[in-house]
A and B are shown apart, each in its own frame.
Chain A
């Protein structure tokens, strides 16, 4: 479920002239209202996640047999203190949502970190060494891309066993091909250029070439793809949780909370509605940010 970021065919050059590239980036970025909003929302979510212990009124796992399935305070039957109501076994919804923010952000970043690292390495290898290595790696990525992401993730989780870490690994594997493709394409484009040939002739080692000359050129498309990847990761991990293969109860993961709440769909709208809204807001924020970054970093659109 990812819009592939177009790898920048011509990477920004440092010698582009007066406005410093970073300043240029900032001015483009801040002109994009959506992206700024996205960044703001992510900031708020990050604060919620970081300071969950102080912000959440209750522990996310503390049950209370006095308040099973109570509606939010503004509705008849609501209980003071439980702002967004309670779930089937008397846990505070608001607190679980706040802790869920921590979890979802962690999942998003961890998946992308894993995926980008592995993807960059594989992409560099494929693009730099070419030949049979490249064919094998790229065919494998094709296979991963051919199977529907969720089906593949489900099979991987079925092997590893349900759980948050395994779901995370599964989603990371599913996202891998995008990064491999971007890095490989950039590497191939760059190695054909004169400066790399020149560096090679002066006796630069392969590793040095990769790290010093080629890698920086992948950075812009990778950053864009990674930001969009976070939203995919959060969404897929939640979907796995919803099917019962992701985070396991009592972990306050939003997808898992939704799965748990499904049986109350006719009776308690709040347990069904809030976790979904949180997923939507978070994913939307990352997509806004990703779009903004792409526009600001992609020179093609700079007219």
Chain B
């Protein structure tokens, strides 16, 4: 070492990368700070990632799949009519501890009840603590669906529903249903600091929180008494790095092991790096440009078709998505069942577009707005750049497009209210059913009011097919109906379908058994380091 010390500048960097800890430490370069440590009120993947390491749920998704597996409940019975779920809890599940709180008992039915009631009953002392907006609990329809949640004994919980609901178990495997300690909550309530429960979390998950510094770092340690057995790594660190290029620079230098959301521009270099592999999975998503079909001139299908032909999709995808996306033809992603391979996309043909425009009464084009989201989304890495390319293409057929953008919450609200002529947006599927795309995004009911059908597309032949498909259970029959619906979609052209993006995760070679989640989450229990 002494000879290194003499080169002072080099010594700084040389020691920088030396690991002072002998333990196995996995560093994840996360993209942002979590909102807090109460998953019940969170809405972002960033927050869920930070929390799912800490909390356990009644049931879990098997890592890397959408299959529901036992969690805190070892097993469960479902009544014949599908309305009563009886969960049998695991015994001897230990809680974490921290400076404020040392648990005196194992996890039991009271904690499960606390999880439900805190989000459900507005009279519960914890209902309003931190926030009363339990978005996912509400979104999954649980307030209406739940009839009662009862403790049968310390290790048995009976949940009664108002109606049978097939996805109920999947609902409980989601992050918002993370179980917090009732004993901790009671103690903090007594101490007059109930919000501590959500800031200094106590969970029963594979890792416990050691330190959180906003915008800098989250530090976890493996919980030795975790019910599933101690994690293979000893320390887990989230190094919060908002800039994608910087995340890549850190991964390259070995300052972190896994990074989400690489910059498309860096992919080429990442692929060339021998120390890094890129895990890929086609995403359940679609990015599109919606024409407001209730506004002139987009109420004319010829205009919409002309627009579709005027824009060079291949160039757009190449320039903006690079290798992280595939050009989209249909409104549903190719990995989804019922995807219609026979549908042909509108060709890029400015001459034909001009002709069609002339037919529709716009030989000299027209003026329109062109909305672009202000933020990067999983289905669209750079809406503004896409808009610039579209604008340039449209100018060639005489259409003058003005790019507009608003703050993101405002953008979505205004687009859903139909204030735009054309607007980019996208969708990531919740449950893998085509209805979740075709009806949710293009059905008549969501075209009304502030629905998510921002093309305001309501076309009876399409609507009939989609509604019929929803009412029957035979998948082969449904497939046929959805395939027809996609043909009609292409004829009517309410959207310019842009691309389906691919989930890409650069991971260093020494990481063993990291699995991509179909929901885009990052869980590190079960991951090892070479």
Contacts and interface: CB of A to CB of B under 8 A. Distances in A.
Given A62-B392, A88-B385, A266-B269, 5 more contacts: A63-B388, A248-B405, A250-B392, A250-B403, A264-B265
A267 interface: yes
B242 to A, nearest CB: 12
8 contacts: A65-B315, A89-B389, A89-B392, A249-B385, A250-B403, A260-B385, A265-B245, A267-B266
Nearest to B390: A63
B223 to A, nearest CB: 38
A34 interface: no
B245 A263 contact: yes
Contact of A65 (B265, B269, B318): B318
A274 interface: no
Interface in A235-294: 244, 248-250, 260, 262-267
A124 B405 CA distance: 40
B305 to A, nearest CB: 22
A249 B384 contact: yes
Interface in B395-440: 395, 403, 405-407
A88 B387 CA distance: 13
B210 interface: no
Interface string A74-112: 000000000000001110000000000000000000000
B245 A89 contact: no
B269 to A, nearest CB: 7
Interface residues of A, number: 23
Interface string A47-75: 00000000000000111010011000000
B319 A250 contact: no
Given A61-B391, A88-B265, A248 B385 contact: no
B319 A68 contact: yes
A16 B451 CA distance: 76
Contacts of A267: 265-266, 268-269
Contacts of A89: 319-320, 385, 388-389, 392
A109 B480 CA distance: 64
B263 interface: yes
Contact of B244 (A161, A248, A263): A263
A121 to B, nearest CB: 33
A210 B421 CA distance: 52
Contacts of B393: 63
A21 interface: no
Contacts of B374: 244
A63 B266 contact: no
**What secondary structure prevails in chain A residues at the interface with B?**
loop
Contact of B319 (A88, A262, A264, A266): A88
A84 to B, nearest CB: 19
Given A61-B391, A249-B384, A263-B244, A162 B269 contact: no
Interface in B284-319: 312, 315, 318-319
Nearest to B244: A263
B495 to A, nearest CB: 22
A262 B246 CA distance: 11
A266 B248 contact: yes
A53 B393 CA distance: 21
Contacts of A88: 265, 319, 385
B249 interface: yes
A266 B245 contact: yes
A89 B405 CA distance: 20
Contact of A250 (B245, B266, B391, B407): B391
Contacts of A244: 374
A250 B387 CA distance: 9
A262 B388 contact: no
**Listed residue (A62, A162, A266) with the most chain B CB atoms within 10 angstroms of its CB:** A266
Residue of B268, B312, B319 with most partner-chain A CB within 10 A:
B319
A158 B245 CA distance: 26
A248 to B, nearest CB: 7
B384 A61 contact: no
A248 B402 CA distance: 11
Q: Interface centre among B248, B265, B387, by most A CB within 10 Å?
A: B265
A10 to B, nearest CB: 52
The 6 closest A-B pairs by CB, nearest first: A65-B315, A63-B392, A250-B388, A263-B263, A89-B319, A249-B384
B385 A61 contact: no
A90 B320 CA distance: 12
Most chain A CB within 10 A, of B315, B318, B391, is at: B315
Contacts of A68: 318-319
Interface in B20-73: none
A63 B385 CA distance: 11
A266 B272 CA distance: 14
B313 to A, nearest CB: 11
Given A88-B385, A89-B389, A262-B245, A249 B263 contact: no
Contacts of B315: 65
A266 B406 contact: no
A267 B406 CA distance: 30
B319 A90 contact: yes
Interface string B233-267: 00000000001110011000000000000010110
A263 B318 contact: no
Contacts of B248: 266
A107 to B, nearest CB: 19
Interface string B310-344: 00100100111000000000000000000000000
A265 B247 CA distance: 13
A259 to B, nearest CB: 10
B244 A266 contact: no
